[in-house]
Structure 1
């Protein structure tokens, strides 16, 4: 059982309505993905399936994997039983043939890995030549400034372990993340054979300001939360 099995139902409900997920990360991913009609797309770490739902609604042929069977149960409840969902750990070989997918989405999942190299190599293997890996990660500067504001003294450079305890409803899970600076991310992408074609530091979707009026205090409508990449498999 994974940590997310414990909090699957509560996390799925939170993910569906939160500012950072529903109104920030997912709209930014959709914009970067562009026209996906007819493309075969894999979502690694798909969780309860909201990104898969977005992609399917836009005509993509979607597959999802996640290490949590509980989260995949939530995805099936959302998407129906006819979608290809599989339990798989991104830290292990993926259950797909070479050159299978046009696109792979890795949204808020790589930060669970201390070493990105083997997982990026697996993603490169299952992508068609010229296929895209679209990555969303917590912005390293946002993590650094949050640590400093809370009284921490961790340096920006290097790869650092971070542990958090999440309580959703009456369930609690301990999650471990591995934070890294921007250059460590881009070095890992290059070493795995990817070319960066876009980097985005997005703003929330326009409707976020009606749903969460408190964010209007940011005059530009932007604040640091995520950084997104579009990477091309060379």
Structure 2
């Protein structure tokens, strides 16, 4: 599984670096606006872990809000793209979220993880590491595929089963790339999170109209707006470590 994720995202790195910010409406006009609204506007003096940084879009946003950012990703190609985006303004390293994190206890005020955790089969070791490296009172904000969306991709639909799924994404540079990820029921998402943190907010985002007048948004809005207004595609969870 890990090798398949690594292979896919090394192939996709060029698209994430040069096209996703403007051309992928599910990121630019849907998930990202919802996540940003849940982050503090001012993050001065905060130490933040961008867990699954990809090409560094969130890393850059966190830096702009004043945070001291450590960005990690499984893909070396994504790490290089992130470095090209933010240079020396963040600490950036290849890192596997399924293994022990190379950080001290209580190192971070905030962990942000965008559309990453559904590539991990067993969340418990990862969430225990998140709990370990977060300071008391620190926050975890993550987004994942919504389980109601992904259950439609299952051949033998069993909502309660954790299921390995495959999808083919067609991107401008990489062409067709098979991406694999896990679908899990809502109760597993909530129960694993709440075993390590106190859940503060759950958001099932709807499309943002902030960018609707941009030319690159027009076609995406026409195709996806009504569907995403009535069918959840992603899920966002904000949680806090007890003091």
Query: What TM-score does the superposition give when structure 2 sets the normalisation length?
Result: 0.86
Q: Does residue 194 of the first structure (1) align with residue 197 of the second (2)?
A: yes
SS in 2 for 1:8: helix
Cα distance change on mapping 1:131 and 1:218 into 2, 3 Å: same
User: Could you tell which deviates more after superposition, 94-103 or 80-89?
Assistant: 80-89
CA distance in 1, matches of 2:140, 2:114: 10
Match for residue 126 of structure 2 among 119, 123, 132? 119
Q: Does residue 214 of the first structure (1) align with residue 222 of the second (2)?
A: yes
Cα distance change on mapping 1:36 and 1:160 into 2, 3 Å: farther
Q: Does residue 31 of the first structure (1) align with residue 29 of the second (2)?
A: no
Aligned to 1:185: 189
Aligned to 2:12: 7
Matches within 5 A, 1:1-234: 2-3=6-7, 4-17=9-22, 18-38=24-44, 39-144=46-151, 146-147=152-153, 152-168=155-171, 169-170=173-174, 172-191=176-195, 193-210=196-213, 211-212=217-218, 213-214=221-222, 218=226, 221=229, 223-234=231-242
Shift of 1:136: 0.4
Figure out how many residues of one structure are paired with residues of the other and give that number.
Answer: 229
User: Could you tell which deviates more after superposition, 179-188 or 8-17?
Assistant: 8-17
Q: RMSD of the alignment, in Å?
A: 2.1
Contact 2:161 2:185 in 1 (8 A): yes
Instruction: Provide structure 2 residue ranges, at least 5 long, that are not aligned to the other structure.
Output: none
Cα distance change on mapping 1:50 and 1:220 into 2, 3 Å: closer
Contact 2:16 2:54 in 1 (8 A): no
CA distance in 2, matches of 1:134, 1:103: 8
Shift of 1:104: 0.1
CA distance in 1, matches of 2:197, 2:14: 35
Contact 1:6 1:172 in 2 (8 A): no
CA distance in 1, matches of 2:178, 2:222: 29
Cα distance change on mapping 1:26 and 1:217 into 2, 3 Å: closer
Shift of 1:165: 3.4
Instruction: Provide structure 1 residue ranges, at least 5 long, that are not aligned to the other structure.
Output: none
CA distance in 2, matches of 1:103, 1:36: 13
